Amino acid sequence: QAGLTQPPSVSKDLGQTATLTCTGSFSNVGNLGAAWLQQHQGHPPKLLSHRRNSRPSGISERFSTSRSGNTASLTITGLQPEDEADYYCSAWDNSLRSWVFGGGTKLTVL
Amino acid sequence: EVQLFESGGGLVQPGGSLRLSCTASGFIFYNYDMTWVRQPPGKGLEWVASISGNGEYTFYADSARGRFSISRDNSGNILYLNAYGLTAEDTAVYYCAAKQVGPSYYFESWGQGTLASVSS
């Protein structure tokens, strides 16, 4: 199954804004949207946001999502040290009848 | 509170088999489709298999089809993954993840994971 495309790494300064991207196709991101997961080293993934910029309870408003065509974006404002983590996007592919993940973006907060 | 707890990982020889379990609590189990996702050491997340809330439908990644079998016991709130013919490429932390039945396309909750190592 073809995966979603994410940049391998992004580095930003403390307090700045980071925008992470996730590119798929119409059969996944473009049609059904993408979800975003945060994973700190040694821990399981945690849901950050899903379609229509919905955040689970307890997730900071500094995390927001959007979509343009087949590309989903995660924006993190006011970067904090604890935001340093791996970020993955996921989506259901309606044509392949399978889940697809991005390769992950390692966010470094300088 | 939704809780998922995986077990059954360990060291297995190439060609061997494993049965992973995921015990669920804090939610109505049959209202959730369940999925296994794995993560090889130092690598990204990889979908393995999914099963519908009532257990009627199953889906497999190409890498799992024919070797892995996903099943569930809704009376006991347990999800299973039987894995056969294991190779070193199957070495990974295996997570179970839950999504609500119906048109929701995200995993609400994840377990802590169980490590399966395939080595002689």
Question: Would you state the pLDDT for residue B34?
Answer: 98
Nearest CB among B45, B61, B107 relative to A98 is that of B61
Minimal CA separation from B9 to chain A, in Å: 16
Classified as helix, coil or strand, B33 is strand
Average pLDDT, chain B: 97
Alpha-carbon distances, residue A29 vs A35, A64, A80, B93 (angstroms): 9, 16, 28, 26
Eight-state DSSP code of residue B61: -
pLDDT band at A91, cuts 50/70/90?
A: very high
3-state secondary structure chain A: CCCEECCCEEEECCCCCEEEEEECCCCCHHHHCCEEEEECCCCCCEEEEEHHHECCCCCCCCEEEEEECCEEEEEECCCCHHHCEEEEEEEEECCCCEEEEECCEEEEEC
Model pLDDT for residues A49-66, shown as the tens digit of each residue = 887 778 888 899 999 999
Nearest to B105 among A32, A44, A98 (CB): A32
pLDDT digit string, tens, across residues A19-48: 999 999 999 999 999 999 999 999 999 999
pLDDT tens column, B22-78:
999 999 999 999 999 999 999 999 999 999 999 999 999 999 999 999 999 999 999
User: Considering only alpha carbons, which residue of chain A is nearest residue B64?
Assistant: A1
